[in-house]
Structure 1
Amino acid sequence: MGFSTVTELVHDSSTRIFEHGWQSWSPSGWYDPTARPPRPTAPNHHVMAYRPDVEAGRFQGEGLLAVANGDEVTVIAALGPDVVPSIRCEVADGNLRISADGDVEVVTSTHSNPNQALADWADAFAGRHQYADIRVFGPSWCSWYAYWGKVTERDVMNEVRQFDEHGLSVDLVLLDEGYQAEIGDWLTPRDDFGSTVRLASDIRASGRRAGIWVAPFLVGSRSETARKHPEWLVPGITAGTNWGQEQLVLDVTHPGAAQHLQDVFTELCRQGYDHFKLDFCYAGAIEGRRHDQVDGVTAYRHGLRLIREVVGPNRILHGCGAPILPSLGLVDCMRVSPDTDPLVDPPSGDISQPGQRGARSTSVAREFLHGRWWANDPDCLIVQPDIQDREAWANHVEHSPGLRMSSDPIGALDRWALDRTRELLTPTSPRPHPLRNFDA
């Protein structure tokens, strides 16, 4: 379907345009009409952090775009989470011409803070789709930035002991990427990792909850899953290159693949995990020829529902690298930014890639979703001494609504970092988080 004009708006020196990115890592924010918004700097970035197979216009929101003129804010948005049109804004004949490649709604309101208009829209959108079950989460620790992909069972339990020794409040211990033998072989641990079964048991014995990372719709080309079951894969489709191999896409509409997906989560629940960080979820929504002839968003939502059926209503689904609008009603918390990093700026200059600058800007731009669609995840607190500008990152985490999750090796923290971590992990009474304006 081509783009059709939706409306035209005037613009002046006060005008700002809000671009909402496709998935967790896609840059989002308010821009001056003369600005050049972030775009992918490499084809692999386009697939893995923007909307695959979609070339953006000058300004483009995926399912959501807004224009602020003084106190008047116009929100142009998808009608629901099942169909997510691209929405463009072009400067034409002195006006802003808004067009979309699908049906949208146009809502105009008056707010001195444009993010409040987005919050009102998000409230109404969630209400129409009967989703309002927002959970509150306790302080957490994640293995990723402490151990990256080399994590072991012993490493995690060493950290659990450190929590007690240093008086750190941690409710959830999340085993992140690195435990698996290959991407897609989730029930086969890496040879030198240890046991996911024993780890979950030991975490729970410490009085804490156990969480685990899974990229449910990715299948690495080197994996046993890909070798044994090529019929479970979306043919001719790549989700990008990562871990030194091509990433293939699980076809959740294939009965065998659907059963496999549910078997994985049945077993992880049996092992004692009750918080599932679902990463690289964008893969499940990539367009392609599936067993059932459905579009990518429909396949993605079907895949999340398959997982929810198995884990039940009381275990947590935590989206990451996930299409934002299509995840509504299907996850309990959502990463709303690209990964942070020890570095402020990614070497590529593409702020969809790991780095504190992009993580801050996109997280702030999406604060309006917190408490309306899910609990936001602004990514982890990392403050060990070799983190660039660690004070600024800690301040960002402090002022961001949503999850509080540390990811440092506790033994590597100096006195300031340990005190700051203890401070930010200390549970407090829920309090309102005022929405930051686009000039913040």
Structure 2
Amino acid sequence: MAPPTHWTLPAPPGEVRVLVSGYQSWSEAELRPLTERQSVPLMRWRHEQGHDPAFLPSGEAGVWRSHTLIALIRPDGGGWVGCAGDAAATFTHWEARAGEGNIKVTCTQEGTPTEVAWEETGNVIGTVEALAARLGQAMTARTPPPLRVWCSWYSYYREVTLGAVLDNARLARELDLPFDVFQLDDGFQAGIGDWLDPSPDFGGHARDLPGPLSELGFTPGLWLAPFLAAPTSRLAAEHPEWLLRGEDGTPLLAGHNWGTPHHALDTTHPEVRAWLRDLAATVRGWGYPYLKLDFLFGGALPGVRHDPTVSRAGAYRMGLQALRDGAGEDAFLLGCGAPLAASVGLVDAMRTGPDVAPLWEEESRRLWLGDATGPSARNALHTALSRWYQHAWYQPDPDVAIVRRERSLLNDEERGAVAGMLDVIGGLRASSDPLGGLDGHELGLLRRCLEISSPDRPRTLTRSLGGAVTHFGRGTFNLTGKAAEGIPAHGYREVPHD
């Protein structure tokens, strides 16, 4: 563990903006005035499930914490950028603190000390991109061509059935929709941790799906949360020694979902890694070369491990490597709820924001409870747009388009903003709408959302419509609640070109 590194910047805090990135997929990334306040959730379980509990957002005015990379931007577009050089066994934490007429920046590392870049620059956007690309190169980033995915989650949630997935796949083929992958999401399994046993409500077994999907010309995809185990699971009952533990020796709780808290697996335990390899190999053998690996933060939570000499980042990486080994080098792995930089080189794609939802936002949760890591269109845009540079680490996944009007609270402007996000991010394209309920207008928007594009770049980081990176080369987003710069609230407008 290296001692902290400090810099003092001769800049008035009131004139500087800060670009920060949270720890994992759902943690907030923002572009904010330095003197504002970084929110920390009031709910303790959101610390584990939405952030790094070992390095939480500050909760203080004028104090901003960031993971892996940070940038401070002067009004002229210049400023300072810091970025880790490697993240395979190390978490790099940044803190910027407003002082009296200056700014104090601190970098600390948890794990094996690694090189850290710190540069003053006249072009923060370009330097952020260059340092992020250097990290990607050092970790041998995997950036395959982006795929177009239909997933079951936002249509059926945990009530998904084998028949419903096949019905949508057949209709996609009839409508000539250009999906590459059909992904079976959460709901097929008996429980979290008991992945090989079917839910009695699924109407079959997950291994029954790849054959029909392949015959229709789609790549079969499957969702797993491989580092978690429900307290009621057979996995937890049969292998309690596999669970990550607290100082008192009891299994840790790793957040709360599916109506219950859940446990995390100790990925330093050799039997756990063997189980992870076997799990990935088994579902690959069923015919799933595309795996979405969710809730991966569980592999890096603070706790007492079988091998206490391994850092949290190293433990996480060991578990993810076991999954890669089992699935095969040619498998397509999509990470989600995952420590971002620590995944580079092992995943092909990564969710870079919270879940989209068929509503703009839960304002009370964000403002009163300090939590913007939950599902909403606003949260997804806010964070994914502010991580534009991470296409050098993997294919970014900003989550699904929501084009349906039924069973949705999004208006036309908000659906258009989500579509604009997909175009600007330029990574994976995904949808989860029930295809049989879409009218001609909605199908037209869906086809537009499935058009592959190259990643866009910000025009500026010196202004923002909503506390995020909002001004891009191809268009501008307005994430605020009222019209601004000729753009309606929650809207997106393309930049006119000659």
Fold agreement, TM-score > 0.5: yes
Displacement, 1:311? 1.5
TM-score (normalizing by structure 1): 0.94
In the alignment, what sits opposite 2:352? 336
In the alignment, what sits opposite 1:261? 276
1:362 aligns with 2:387: no
Distance 2:396 2:217 in 1: 25
Distance 2:450 2:143 in 1: 20
Residues 5, 257 of structure 1: CA spacing in aligned structure 2 closer, same or farther, 3 A cutoff?
A: closer
What SS does the corresponding residue of 1:390 show, helix, strand or coil?
A: helix
Distance 2:351 2:230 in 1: 23
Q: Which range is displaced more, 205-214 or 132-141?
A: 132-141
Equivalent of residue 66 in structure 1, options 49, 67, 71: 71
Q: Which range is displaced more, 119-128 or 274-283?
A: 119-128
Distance 1:96 1:305 in 2: 39
Equivalent of residue 365 in structure 2, options 336, 344, 348: 348
Distance 1:78 1:437 in 2: 23
What SS does the corresponding residue of 1:123 show, helix, strand or coil?
A: helix
Q: Which amino acid aligns with 1:242?
A: N
Displacement, 1:101? 2.5
Aligned residues of 2:425 and 2:455 also touching (Cα < 8 A): no
In the alignment, what sits opposite 1:286? 301
Displacement, 1:3? 7.5
Q: Which amino acid aligns with 2:241?
A: E
Q: Which runs of 5+ in 2 are unaligned?
A: 247-251, 465-470, 472-498
Equivalent of residue 161 in structure 2, options 143, 152, 163: 152
In the alignment, what sits opposite 2:336? 320
Equivalent of residue 109 in structure 1, options 121, 129, 132: 121
In the alignment, what sits opposite 1:28? 29
In the alignment, what sits opposite 1:11? 11
In the alignment, what sits opposite 1:373? 393
What SS does the corresponding residue of 1:395 show, helix, strand or coil?
A: helix
What SS does the corresponding residue of 2:65 show, helix, strand or coil?
A: strand
In the alignment, what sits opposite 1:167? 176
Residues 274, 290 of structure 1: CA spacing in aligned structure 2 closer, same or farther, 3 A cutoff?
A: same
Aligned residues of 1:5 and 1:97 also touching (Cα < 8 A): no
In the alignment, what sits opposite 1:191? 200
Q: Which amino acid aligns with 1:210?
A: P
CA RMSD of aligned residues (A): 1.8
Displacement, 1:251? 1.3
In the alignment, what sits opposite 2:312? 296
Aligned residues of 1:19 and 1:64 also touching (Cα < 8 A): yes
What SS does the corresponding residue of 2:382 show, helix, strand or coil?
A: helix
Point out 4+ residue stretches in structure 1 off by more than 6 angstroms. none
1:207 aligns with 2:217: yes
What SS does the corresponding residue of 2:329 show, helix, strand or coil?
A: coil
In the alignment, what sits opposite 2:476? none
Distance 1:355 1:18 in 2: 21
1:218 aligns with 2:228: yes
In the alignment, what sits opposite 2:426? 401
In the alignment, what sits opposite 1:413? 438
Q: Which amino acid aligns with 1:32?
A: P
TM-score (normalizing by structure 2): 0.83
Aligned residues of 1:367 and 1:401 also touching (Cα < 8 A): no
Q: Which runs of 5+ in 1 are unaligned?
A: none
Distance 1:248 1:241 in 2: 9
Aligned length: 434
In the alignment, what sits opposite 2:321? 305
What SS does the corresponding residue of 1:84 show, helix, strand or coil?
A: strand
Aligned residues of 2:354 and 2:383 also touching (Cα < 8 A): yes
